[in-house]
Amino acid sequence: MRFRHVLLSEAGFQSQQLIIEAGLTLGDASVYSKIDVTIDGADEVDAQLNAIKGGGACQLREKVLAEAAETWIMVADYRKNSETLGTNWHQGIPIEVAPFAYVAVLHRLAQLGSPTTAEKSTAVGAHGQVLTLRMGKAKAGPVVSDNGNFIIDAPFPKEMMERPTDLLTKIKLLTGVVEVGLFCGMAKAAYFGNADGSVSVRSTDGSVKKL
């Protein structure tokens, strides 16, 4: 396999800083539109290698790089490995939205089945998470992505999370949505770090190999 030692800045500000600090060559997806391999983290990975991403609010850029890659690989620790998305990642699907449209998108997500405060006891079971605009921790106001957009975290009931591609399609069609933190059918493999320090690799055929 041929590698170019160029790292792309689109994965977000933090990645860009790490690339510069390490003295590596910083590239750009508009110059390197085809990538051999993209390796990325995930917030949760299901049995079919679908993933939730966007815990760091970078899912738009990360999806552009994943789609540009011949091979897209995920790395995560064992706590992010589950049968169905939403099992261990409870805060919901990260959705990047145009700021002026966020109230409209919140309404449409609620209509799609994402629970709001009023209905949380029936809709989300034990976890109690509800549809929210993600707020900053060290700043007042909402989190603003590297693209100047807001992030909505939208939990959905288990029966909808079991069909992530259908859910992705429905959310992506809402006007005002820029990108959805569901990565479906994209990964060639997921590498999980185990509690004992070993690594397990799961492939698209469902096979798991311990390294």
Active site residues: 62
Verify binding: residue 43, ligand 5RP, rule CB under 6 A. yes
Stretch that binds ligand 5RP, among 47-55, 103-111, 115-123, 166-174 (CB under 6 A): 47-55
Cβ closest to ligand 5RP, residue 75 vs residue 104: 75
Specify burial of residue 139 (Cβ count, 10 A radius: 0-12, 13-18, 19+): exposed
- Buried b or exposed e, range 17-35, using 16+ CB within 10 angstroms: eebeeeeeeebebeebeeb
Which range of residues in 37-45, 97-105, 113-121, 166-174 is near ligand 5RP by CB under 6 A?
37-45
41 binds ligand 5RP (CB under 6 A): yes
The reply to whether 42 sits near ligand 5RP by the rule CB under 6 A is yes
Rounded CA-CA distance 199/193 in Å is 5
53, 63, 108, 134: which one contacts ligand 5RP (CB under 6 A)?
53
From candidates 8, 55, 60, 151, binder to ligand 5RP by CB under 6 A: 55
Residue type present at position 30: S
Verify binding: residue 58, ligand 5RP, rule CB under 6 A. Answer: yes
Pairing of strands 69-77, 51-52: unpaired
Q: According to CB under 6 A, which residues from 83 to 142 bind ligand 5RP?
A: none
The answer to whether the CB of 109 falls within 8 A of the CB of 152 is: yes
In contact, 85 and 46? CB cutoff 8 Å: yes
Backbone angles phi, psi at 146, to 5 degrees: -60, -15
Report the residue from 15, 44, 50, 54 that binds ligand 5RP according to the rule CB under 6 A.
Answer: 54
What is the binding site for ligand 5RP (CB under 6 A)? Answer: 40-43, 53-59, 62
